[in-house]
A and B are shown apart, each in its own frame.
Chain A
């Protein structure tokens, strides 16, 4: 006897909900109880169209998010300066002097999820620091947090971050 499954998928970009149901399945292996693997030959999917209200709410949320990002970028630019800000977006990272690692610099990448690399004078990565704000804040604010702490509370960062030492 065929079993049909209904499921919904949340579209992570627009928050639209996709509903789907299976139309056929192949029970795999010995289905005598316990876990059962089900493979679908095909399934039907339908997008629930957004209502005007939902669309309006989504667009408003997107606009608000854009403003938040812009404000966060301005704050970051105000702190690191226009030149460093430009470098961050063009080259993909900026470098900061380290007081604790001899003859090394911190390479903070624009990708806010990336680790901070500790680079020696020969350009070799000697350590990687993994840390991030404990709250979920906009990407430019995450970068600002890393930069400010590395510049003004370096010891605190080194104590908190996870280290991935390279070649030691």
Chain B
């Protein structure tokens, strides 16, 4: 199972999907796109490897982290 974690005001939300299940993939894709449109940055995270910024949803990503927009303090 792949997972998407979205950092939010009430902690993080988790969406899991099986890359072979079209309906699950579409739910994850929708959440990904909705949040990136709001300014969240997406990163593909692999255990023991350097993560990478993602511009588009990849159904085969193992773990995606959506980070909220930032502001200078």
* A interface list, Cβ under 8 A from B: 67-69, 71-72, 75, 79, 115, 130-138, 141, 144-145, 148-149, 151-153, 156-157, 160-162
Question: What band does the interface of chain B fall in when counting residues whose beta carbon is under 8 Å from A?
Answer: 20 to 34
Q: Chain B nearest CB: distance from A133 CB in Å?
A: 4
20 more contacts with CB within 8 A, not counting A115-B73, A132-B73, are A68-B11, A72-B12, A75-B5, A79-B45, A130-B72, A132-B71, A133-B7, A133-B67, A134-B68, A134-B70, A134-B71, A135-B8, A135-B9, A135-B69, A141-B7, A144-B7, A145-B67, A152-B43, A152-B50, A157-B70
* Distance of A160 Cα from B70 Cα, bound (Å): 7
* Distance of A136 Cα from B9 Cα, bound (Å): 5
- Residues from chain B with a CB closer than 8 A to the CB of A130 are 72-73
Is B11 within 8 A of A71, CB to CB? yes
Give the A-B pair count, Cβ closer than 8 A: 81
* B interface list, Cβ under 8 A from A: 5, 7-12, 39, 41, 43, 45, 50-53, 65, 67-73
